[in-house]
A and B are shown apart, each in its own frame.
Chain A
Amino acid sequence: MVDKKEIDDVTGVELTGHVWDDDLRELNEPLPKWWLWVLYVSIIWSVGYWIAYPAWPTASGYTKGLFGYSQRTTVSEEIATANQAQAKFRQAIASAELETVRAEPELLSFSIAGGRASFGDNCAPCHGRGAQGFIGYPNLNDDVWIWGGKLADIHKTILFGIRSGHPETRDNAMPRYGLEQLLTKEQINELAETVLAFANNATDKAAAERGKAIFAEQCVSCHGDEGKGNQELGAPDLTDAIWLYGGTKVAIVTSISTGRGGVMPAWNERLDPVTIKQLTVYVHSLGGGQ
C-alpha cells in the first residue's frame, strides 16, 4: 500500500494502490450507499425475524417465535377451511341415505370426486389405482361381487372389512383341503377338474365326472348345487369368467388345497362416516354396482 492517495489520470478517481502485471491498477469505487444500507437493514431485519418467527434449533426443539407461526398449523387451518367449504355437501351426505346421495347429481359428483381421492389414499395399494385389482385382490370395476354389490353391501364391507377381526366383519373360511389332508391329491385333482368343467374348461372329462361326487359332498353347502356361489356366505360363483385367484388349473388346485382367505381391514376405525359413504358411492359407480 502506498501512503499517499494516488489518483487515476483518466477518470480522476482514487486508486486502491493494488497493481497487477506492472501497470494494471484498480479504481477505488466503494459500494453504493443504498446497497450498503440495504445490507444493514437486512441484518437488522433478520434479528427481528429471529424473534418473530421460528429460527434457532435448541436441544429439545426450536425457538417458536413471537407469532407462533408453524407450517403445520397453516396446513391444518387450510384443511379446516377446505372442509368448511365442503361442509354443505358433507352434511348432506352424512344425513342422507346412500340411494339419495346417488340420485342427487351434485352429491353424486362430490362423492365420486372425494371417493376417488380417498380411494387413492387408502384402497389403491391393494385394489390398484383404477380399482382394477390384482390376483387375490378383487377388481371393483366388474359386475362380480363376492359379498354383494348393492350400496348397502359395499358400505358394510368397507365399514367392517373382511376377516378383519372386527365383531361385525364379513367372515367365512374355506377348508384347507390339502394342507389339512381332508382330501387326497387325487381327489383334489378331480375336484379341480369339476370346477373347470363349470365353464367347459376341463382337461380330463372323466376326472371331472368323478369329482362331482366330492363337490356335492364338500362344496355345495356354500357354493351351491351348480357352483353359482352365495353372496350371503361370501362364496364365489365358480361358473363365471371372473377368478379372484386365477382360473387356471394350478390356481384352482392351490385354492382348494389352501383355502385362501384374504383379509380387508375394517375402515370404520380409520375413516370418518362421510368418507366411507363417499367411497361406497364411488366404488358402486365404477360400473359393477347393483
Chain B
Amino acid sequence: MADAGDAATDVDKFIGEPVEPRSSGALVANEAAPGVPRQEVEAVNAKANRPLYEARQKVHPKRARGTFRSIKWVVMVVTLGIYYLLPWLRWNRGDHLPDQAILLDFANQRLFFGPFEIWPQEFYYITGLLVIAALALFLVTSLAGRVWCGYACPQTVWTDLMIAVERFWQGDRNARLRLDKSPWTFDKIYKKSATHLSWLLIGVATGGALVFYFRDAPTLARELVTGTAPAIAYLFLGIFAFTTYLLGGIAREQVCIYMCPWPRIQGAMFDQDSLLVSYRAYRGEPRGPHKKNDTWQGRGDCIACRQCVVVCPVGIDIRHGPQLECIQCALCIDACNDIMKKVGRPQNLIAYDTFRNLAAVEAGEKAKFRPIRPRTVLYLVLIPVILALMMVGWMNRSELDVSVLRDRNPLFVRLSDGGIRNGYTIKILNKRYDPREFRLSVKGLDAAELDIVGLEDNETPTISVLPDNLRSMRVYLSLGSDAVKQLSDEATPLEFVVTDLGDSAQSARSTTFRRPKQ
C-alpha cells in the first residue's frame, strides 16, 4: 500500500461474509476447537445486520479477562475515583474564601482550581485548557485510534460499570440470555429490579457528585439530605441521575453508534499509521473450526469460535475490519488471545496494528511503524507551546486590576463658576486573599480636583477593598473655568493610577476629560 488513497480498497479486503466451513471429525457439536465452544452470537450492530427500520437488538457482552480488561478496570477505578472524590478535596485559602480545592462557584463568579483562581473575565484560561485537552485527544487518536472512546470516555466507563452491576445481579452472558427469555418469575423480577435499582443509585451518586463541584460539598451534602438545598441542585442531580441511568444502563452502545459525533470525526483524526484494534486477516483466514491433531497448514488461525464477537460491548465483529461502530476497547484482543493460548497458536491474531503495517505484512514486506509523523509532532509541539503561553499569562496575571468607565450621559457638567466636571465609574479588583488599601490619583491633568463619592471629606482618601473582591466607586474630576479654557482639545487624555499602599503596586487606566465646544 503506497499511499493513503488506497486505504478504502485495502480495508474492503477484510470485510465480507466469511466462510466458516463445518469441520468433519473429532469436534463435538458447537465446538470451534477441542474445549473451545463455538458461540451462538450474531454481530447485531455490524452494519450489514442493522437495517434502518428495526428495533435495537440487545447486546449481552460476555465478561473478558486479560491485559486490556485489567487496564480498563484500572482506568475505571481511577476516573470514577477522581470524579466522585475530587469535590471533597480541601484547599486552604484563608478565612474569607471557600476551602474546596475544585469549585466552580458560579454564584460568586469565581472558578477555583487548587492554587488557581479564575475570575469571569479570565475565562480564556479555560479556553486554553480545552485547547490542550483537544490537542491531547488528537495526539492520542493519531497514535492509537479511539483510545478515548475505548477507555476513558464517561459513556464507556459508566456503561462498563453498569454492565458489571448487571453481571453481579444476573450472571454472565448466558445466564442473562436465559433470564431475558424466561417468564416473569419472582427470581426474574427480583434480579431485574435489583439491577435497575442499582443503576438508579449509581445515577443518583453521579448526579450527586456533579452538583458538589458547584457548591461547598459538605454543606451541600447536608442540605441535600435535609431537603434545604437550592432547587437547581436537585434539578441537576435529577437530570444527571436520569441521564446516567438512561445512557449508561439502557442505551449503552446506541449512544456511541447513533448519538455521538466523535466516531464521525475519527476519519480525519487517524491515518494509515495509527494503531487500531485490528483483525489480522492475513493470519486468520481462511478461518474454520479446528480439531485436535489437524494440521494448521493451509488454513488461518481463526477457529471461528466468535469469542471476539461475544465479548464486544457494541455488538460488532472485529473481523469485518475497521468500522464506525467499534469503540476500540480492545476486549476482543483479550478474548482472542485467551483462545489462541488454548489452541496453541501465537498471540495477537487480533491486536493493535496500523493499516500500513497490515498491508505490508500481507504483501510479505517488513513491518512498518511510523509513530513520528508530521501530525503527531505538530500535536506534541503545540501542547507544550500552549501550556507555556498559559503559564506566562498566569505568571504575569496582575492581582490588581482597574477598570474605568467614563460617564456618557451627561458627557460633562458645567459648574456654577464656569468650570467643567466629568464623572467616572472606577472599579478596583483585588485578586489577593488579603484586604488591601489603595490610593487613587490622576496623571495628565494636574489642575483637576478629584472627588470620590463617599470619601470627599478626606484630603487623601484611602480606598479599602475586601479580599478577592472588587469595589466600584463614583469619581468626579472638576476643572476651574480658567483651566478649562487652556484645554486645547474637546477630549484631553489622562490616566487614573491606583497605588497599593502596602507594596506600592500600581495599575493605570487611560481615559479622557471632556469639555464643551468653545
Residues of chain A with a CB closer than 8 A to B418's CB: 241
**Is the Cβ of A130 less than 8 Å from the Cβ of B416?**
no
Is there a chain A Cβ closer than 8 Å to B251's Cβ?
no
Is there a chain A Cβ closer than 8 Å to B431's Cβ?
no
Closest B-chain residue to A237, C-beta based?
Answer: B416
Residues of chain A with a CB closer than 8 A to B441's CB: none
**Is the Cβ of B413 less than 8 Å from the Cβ of A103?**
no
Contact among A108, A128, A131, A242 for B414, CB-based, below 8 A: A242
Interface membership of chain B positions 447-471, coded 1 if the CB is closer than 8 angstroms to chain A and 0 otherwise: 0000101100000000000000001
**Is the Cβ of A130 less than 8 Å from the Cβ of B407?**
yes
Q: How many residues of B contact A (CB 8 A)?
A: 20
Is there a chain A Cβ closer than 8 Å to B347's Cβ?
no
Contact among A105, A112, A287 for B423, CB-based, below 8 A: A287
**Is the Cβ of A241 less than 8 Å from the Cβ of B415?**
yes
Is there a chain A Cβ closer than 8 Å to B306's Cβ?
no
Tell me which residues from 126 to 159 in chain A have a Cβ below 8 Å from any Cβ of chain B.
Answer: 128-132, 139, 141-144
Contact among A108, A132, A143, A285 for B410, CB-based, below 8 A: A132
Contact among A112, A128, A142 for B415, CB-based, below 8 A: A142
Is there a chain A Cβ closer than 8 Å to B63's Cβ?
no
Is there a chain A Cβ closer than 8 Å to B290's Cβ?
no
**Is the Cβ of B454 less than 8 Å from the Cβ of A143?**
no
Question: Most chain-A Cβ atoms within 10 A of its Cβ — which of B407, B409, B454?
Answer: B454
Tell me which residues from 208 to 265 in chain A have a Cβ below 8 Å from any Cβ of chain B.
Answer: 237, 240-242
**Is the Cβ of B454 less than 8 Å from the Cβ of A287?**
no
**Is the Cβ of A287 less than 8 Å from the Cβ of B421?**
yes
Residues of chain A with a CB closer than 8 A to B474's CB: 112, 285
Residues of chain A with a CB closer than 8 A to B414's CB: 139, 142, 241-242
Closest chain B CB from A124 CB (angstroms): 10
Closest chain A CB from B417 CB (angstroms): 7
Is there a chain B Cβ closer than 8 Å to A102's Cβ?
yes
**Is the Cβ of B416 less than 8 Å from the Cβ of A132?**
no
Interface membership of chain B positions 397-428, coded 1 if the CB is closer than 8 angstroms to chain A and 0 otherwise: 00000000001111001111110010100000
Is there a chain A Cβ closer than 8 Å to B68's Cβ?
no
Is there a chain B Cβ closer than 8 Å to A109's Cβ?
yes
Interface membership of chain A positions 101-114, coded 1 if the CB is closer than 8 angstroms to chain B and 0 otherwise: 01101001100100
**Is the Cβ of B423 less than 8 Å from the Cβ of A240?**
no
CA distance A241 to B483 in the complex (A): 16
**Is the Cβ of B423 less than 8 Å from the Cβ of A141?**
yes
**Is the Cβ of B413 less than 8 Å from the Cβ of A287?**
yes
Question: Most chain-A Cβ atoms within 10 A of its Cβ — which of B407, B416, B418?
Answer: B416
**Is the Cβ of A240 less than 8 Å from the Cβ of B454?**
no
Closest B-chain residue to A109, C-beta based?
Answer: B472
CA distance A144 to B417 in the complex (A): 10
Is there a chain A Cβ closer than 8 Å to B476's Cβ?
yes
Residues of chain A with a CB closer than 8 A to B408's CB: 130
Given the interface pairs A103-B454, A108-B453, A287-B421, the reply to whether A142 lies near B472 with Cβ below 8 Å is no
**Is the Cβ of B453 less than 8 Å from the Cβ of A240?**
no
Tell me which residues from 233 to 258 in chain B have a Cβ below 8 Å from any Cβ of chain A.
Answer: none
CA distance A102 to B456 in the complex (A): 11
CA distance A143 to B474 in the complex (A): 16
Closest A-chain residue to B475, C-beta based?
Answer: A287
Residues of chain B with a CB closer than 8 A to A105's CB: 454, 471
Given the interface pairs A142-B415, A237-B416, the reply to whether A285 lies near B453 with Cβ below 8 Å is yes
Closest A-chain residue to B407, C-beta based?
Answer: A130
Residues of chain B with a CB closer than 8 A to A108's CB: 453-454
Question: Most chain-A Cβ atoms within 10 A of its Cβ — which of B414, B418, B476?
Answer: B414
Contact among B407, B416, B451, B454 for A144, CB-based, below 8 A: B416
Given the interface pairs A109-B472, A130-B410, the reply to whether A102 lies near B417 with Cβ below 8 Å is no
25 contacts between A and B (CB under 8 A): A102-B454, A105-B454, A112-B453, A112-B474, A129-B409, A130-B409, A132-B409, A132-B410, A139-B410, A141-B413, A141-B423, A142-B413, A142-B414, A142-B416, A142-B421, A143-B416, A237-B416, A240-B416, A240-B417, A241-B415, A241-B416, A242-B414, A242-B416, A285-B454, A285-B474
Closest 8 CB pairs of A and B: A130-B409, A240-B416, A132-B410, A141-B413, A241-B418, A285-B453, A144-B416, A130-B410
Given contacts A139-B414, A241-B417, A285-B474, 5 further A-B contacts (CB under 8 A): A102-B454, A109-B472, A141-B423, A240-B417, A241-B416
